[in-house]
Structures are given as structure tokens and as C-alpha cells.
Amino acid sequence: MSHSFSLEAILAIARNNAIGLDGKLPWHLPVELKLFKEVTMHHALIMGRKTYESLPGILPNREHIIISQSLNSIHGVHIATSVNHALSIAESLAPQKVFVIGGKRIFDELIPHCNAIHVSRIMREFNADTYYDFNFQGYTIDQSHSLHDVETGTDILYQKLII
Ligand SMILES: NC(=O)c1ccc[n+]([C@@H]2O[C@H](COP(=O)([O-])OP(=O)(O)OC[C@H]3O[C@@H](n4cnc5c(N)ncnc54)[C@H](OP(=O)(O)O)[C@@H]3O)[C@@H](O)[C@H]2O)c1
């Protein structure tokens, strides 16, 4: 797959591979939400329908491409029926970067095609109903820094991984 944009993924994973609970994130970590905003701002996002429904609304200054076979058109977002359809919509928007933001099946299908992965490793275990077993092998750490969520006392290791 070759594109005119950089295809990247961004995900937050707990120690036990938890990523989601009851249609939301298993945690409330403002420092991690801030990081997500900084990394993705002014770029396009590809997401599954449930991840879209987990958002508080349309995120400002980012094109949203939602993969779904059940949704009809929604004002302000693009609907794709498959990952390939999502990539062709992204191509037509001509962004500099496109971020794959989940959930699980979208990560499974698109992470192998991403040239960078932004991972927040949440240094705790959480109850969850959605897990993602990300394989860190084969990547080089391009950037790495620690974050600390003061409110919950949670440590987070952010890493940008490249092929
Ligand atoms: N920690 C993280 O980084 C992170 C990131 C994202 C999401 N999450 C969490 O994970 C949960 C949601 O993730 P999820 O994996 O359950 O769902 P999801 O991938 O966000 O959404 C699943 C839906 O997307 C559509 N879909 C997915 N793959 C498709 C494909 N290849 N072709 C066509 N349609 C496709 C289908 O929609 P239709 O049923 O409409 O056809 C499917 O039911 C939430 O709890 C969310 O908060 C966490």
C-alpha cells in the first residue's frame, strides 16, 4: 500500500493489553488525552464506528473517516464501508498524515501498513472488555518520554515507534 500521506496509528494500552470498557476508554487520564490531541491535531483520523461513538463529538480540526456498514451519512464526517474505502477517502482529502485510532479490528488491519505507531503504555492493569495485543517486535523507538497523571497517580510511557 503506498499513499501520498504518512499512515500512522495511535493507541493507549494498559499492562494487561486493555484498551476499552463499555464503549469507552477504561481510564480517565487527562494527560494522555492531551497527548492524543497534540499528536493528531490538523490531521485526518480513521476509526471504527464504536470508537467514533465513544468520542464526545467531532474532534475539532481533524477530518474523521468512520468505517461502518451500518451508519448512514453523518454531517461533518466521512463514512467508509471498508479499510480500503477509508484509505481512498483519505487520499482524496490530501492530508499530510492519517492516524488510525482504533478499535481492535481496524488496528489489526491497518497497523501492518503504518510507518509510525504512537503508543501510550499505561503502567497499570485495568478491567476491560476490549484488548489489543500489540506486537512491539520489529519497530525502532524514535521518541520516548514518560508522563505522569497527577490526578490518578498513573505513570505512562509514550513511545513513537517506526519501522
Ligand atoms: N485505548 C485505545 O487506544 C483505544 C482506541 C480506540 C478505541 N478504544 C476503545 O475500544 C472500544 C471500541 O473498539 P472496538 O474494537 O470494539 O470497535 P471499533 O473498531 O471502534 O468499531 C467496530 C465497528 O466498526 C466497523 N468496522 C470495524 N472494522 C471494519 C471493517 N474492516 N470493515 C467494515 N466495518 C468495520 C463495524 O461497524 P458497523 O457495525 O457499523 O458495521 C464494527 O461494528 C471502545 O471501548 C473504545 O473506547 C480504545
Confirm if 128 and 13 have CB atoms less than 8 A apart: no
Q: Quick check: pTM over 0.75?
A: yes
- To test the pocket of ligand 1, the residue of 40, 67, 81 to mutate (highest count of ligand atoms within 8 Å of its CB) is 67
Please give the chain's pLDDT, 163 residues, in tens: 788 999 999 999 999 999 999 999 999 999 999 999 999 999 999 999 999 999 999 999 999 999 999 999 999 999 999 999 999 999 999 899 999 999 999 999 999 999 999 999 999 999 999 999 999 999 999 999 999 999 889 999 999 999 9
Atom 14 (ligand 1): residue with closest C-alpha? 103
Over its C-alpha atoms, the chain yields an Rg (Å, rounded) of: 15
Domains of the chain: 6-162 (3.40.430.10)
Q: Position 62: which residue type?
A: R
pLDDT reported for residue 151: 85
> Does an H or E element contain 141, and which?
strand 140-149
Positive/negative CA dihedral, 106, 136, 131, 144: negative
